[in-house]
A and B are shown apart, each in its own frame.
Chain A
Amino acid sequence: MRRTNVRRSLLAAGVVLIMGLVTACGGSSSSTTATVQISAETAGTLRVLMEGVPDTDIVKALLADFNKDYPNIDVQIEPIAYDQIRDKLVASFQASKPTYDLAIIDNPWVGDFAKAGFLKPLDDLINSTDGYDYNDFSAPLRAIGEVDGSIYGVPFYNYGLGLIYRTDLLQAAGIAEPTTLDELAAAAKKLTTGSRAGIAMQPQRGYKAFEEWGNYLFAAGGSVYGSDGKVNLDTPEAKKALETYIAMYKSSAPKNSLNWAFDEALRAVSSDKAAMMVSYNWMLPTLNKADGPAGALAGKYKLATMPGGKQVLGSWDWAIPANSEVSDAAWAFISWLTSKAGETARVSAGGAPVRTSVLSDPAVSTTGGGADYYATVAKILGNAEPMCQGSNCDEMINAVGTELNSAIAGKKSVAAALKDATTAANKIQSQ
């Protein structure tokens, strides 16, 4: 280990010297090649699990460019369903020979994985990579990857939520973009017709319910954590948010959708069975794509911040497993992809942005999702918060989401559900 460190620093020094000489001899470095410290000769096979989302396809398409800079690194992406990622990662982290050399981590897992010693701290790598500009990443996203003072993950893509709606339907009904929770409820009700629901909701027990309702909570002016750092959902804002949510579910959501998650909501919205949904901001480019899932409805969707302006944030981070045997190659890939140049390429192809500079880059806004979309995303990232911070997030989110679902199903009163959710969440996070 020490030997590699020494070697790397020498290499770094060497590269810096040469780069300095090159730039000194005139001719600025081209903006399409990233400045990294890892040798282009670095070799290795990187096996990584990735969810089957648009950003994964974009990364796959960028591999050819990556291999131009690093011809000896073979990146093998294994697409897989969300549910299986965590279990497989945990199994790999504990094996003597890792199955995966590189990992993307969902934000609720970062805390637990870091504390369990499953991930390598990346501070040294980041600091030794020239021109990386770690602080360019949006602040809330950076906070997600930082645990106990060390950086364990760098942002890959964000999945902050927002309100996606059909412009033509809102216009036809004479409704303006909702700016408060009550306006949202009214709009959803007005847009509900016999064959189309006003809003497709995702009240599925556990993660989904909390992920969606969290936005309603923020819209009502509430928050998950109190000023003492403990979870407190037993507040008037939370009560209003849940009551409004339930009212909307009963009056404006599709029939029999109690068990709905992302899948079902997307299908409803893309096949004209629902007019709006609260969903991941990057679903917008996909919905508006000409040959995408929306078919003839492409181009009619718009993204807005949640009424009230604050939304739930989620993100995936790149991380290097502690038992990875090819950390150099892993960092080469991570730093290449998440550098300003790599990010620009990814976002231009439709990926969800994580760097503030890229969001405001005029060149990017003409491709990808359009200037309007990026402006909205910038607003979303500017005021977003993950559902959970700290340890045991998976369990906490699930517990809260289960209580929420019970209330939505009418099995528990709103007050009881919120109280029980608070108690359970605090118990879980204090373990």
Chain B
Amino acid sequence: MKGNKSSWGILGKLLISLSFLLVAMPLLWVSIASFKKGTDLNNPTQITFVPTLENWKEVFSSGIFQSAGRSAFVGVVAVSISIVLGSMGAYSISRYKTGKSLTRFGILAAQVLPPAVLVFPFLDLAYRLRLSDTLVAVIAAHLSFVLPVVTWFLIGFFDAAPKEVEEQALVDGLGRFAAFRKVVLPQVAPGVGAAAIFGFVLSWNDLFYALILAPGNAATLPVRIAGFNTFRGVELGAMCAAIIVSVVPVLITSFFIQRRLVRGISGGAVKF
């Protein structure tokens, strides 16, 4: 039996190492390529070369940080609205069984909707309201999938949170909303955090809505990166630099949040 355990252990370690390699390899290759000159790029596996900062200069001056800023802005606004509205609504659904399974199911249904169904009305409405190619249109569109996801997560968290604490608060004389705000919310804080992160990532990554609703001056980061598919083949260097620019902050953030995310999710989100 002991033999079994250590052989599984070795297998496990092997698996982790392999996964590590598979994740690292593309990222490493792209990092290296971002420092290569045009002609060097024609030799994909060449590791020794004279590095150049041309690609990075090009990317930095391409407005990619503005796009990243716009993406962040859209994400923060969409998530903030979602947390506020979602937590209130989720509380109502969880504690008071408002609408019972219809609301739970309805919220999920909203998440299910293919973006293709919603984007065209958004496009047309934006045109009518003279909001074409603005971030308002993108935020509204993002709400359509961030709000349901956040709410759905929060319902699970509220379900898992023990009722005694808030009942105690009510007995102590706190109003219901005050109880919600001061007692229940802090309880589910890790869950709220996880839901917020999840929602933000969903918004940050969206290309479809942003591409259609704001392809021009209000371009978000994914739209910007898609634009590096340029005419001249040698732009590969710049594209690699752009990819790294969008990946590095993610890696750093992921390091800090992964523990929180795991804890938050295991705190009861994954229930119906």
Contact = CB atoms under 8 A, between A and B. Distances in A.
* A adjacent to B, CB under 8 Å: yes
Interface of A: 51-53, 80-84, 87-88, 91-92, 94-96, 99, 262-264, 266-267, 271, 293, 295
Interface in B113-158: 127, 130, 132-133
A263 B41 CA distance: 13
What DSSP secondary structure best describes chain B's contact surface?
A: loop
Contact of A99 (B42, B216, B226): B216
A52 B132 contact: no
Contacts of B6: none
B211 interface: yes
B46 interface: no
Interface residues of B, number: 23
Contact of A91 (B215, B231, B233): B215
Contacts of B235: 52
Contact of B230 (A52, A87, A99): A52
B226 A84 contact: yes
Nearest to B133: A91
Interface of B: 38-39, 42, 127, 130, 132-133, 211-212, 214-217, 226-235
Contacts of A84: 215, 226-227
A243 to B, nearest CB: 30
Contacts of B42: 267, 271
The A interface is mostly helix, strand or loop, or mixed, namely helix
A91 B230 CA distance: 20
The residue among B132, B216, B232, B233 with the most chain A CB atoms within 10 A of its own CB is: B216
Given A88-B215, A94-B132, A95-B132, A267 B233 contact: yes
A92 B216 CA distance: 8
Given A95-B132, A95-B133, A96-B130, A87 B215 contact: yes
Given A52-B230, A94-B127, A95-B132, 7 more contacts: A81-B229, A84-B226, A84-B227, A91-B133, A91-B216, A96-B130, A262-B231
> Which of A84, A99, A264 gathers the greatest number of chain B CB atoms within 10 Å?
A84
Contact of A51 (B211, B212, B226, B231): B231
6 contacts: A52-B231, A53-B231, A81-B227, A83-B229, A84-B227, A96-B132
Contacts of B229: 81, 83
Contacts of B215: 84, 87-88, 91
Nearest to A56: B231
Nearest to B62: A79
A293 B231 CA distance: 13
Nearest to A52: B231
B130 A95 contact: yes
Contacts of B133: 91-92, 95, 99
Nearest to A271: B42
A51 B232 CA distance: 10
A266 B132 contact: no
B227 A52 contact: no
A82 B235 CA distance: 14
Nearest to B224: A84
A84 B216 CA distance: 9
A388 to B, nearest CB: 21
B2 to A, nearest CB: 50
Contacts of A83: 226, 229
Contacts of A293: 38, 233-234
B132 A263 contact: no
B174 to A, nearest CB: 50
A266 B233 contact: yes
A397 B152 CA distance: 45
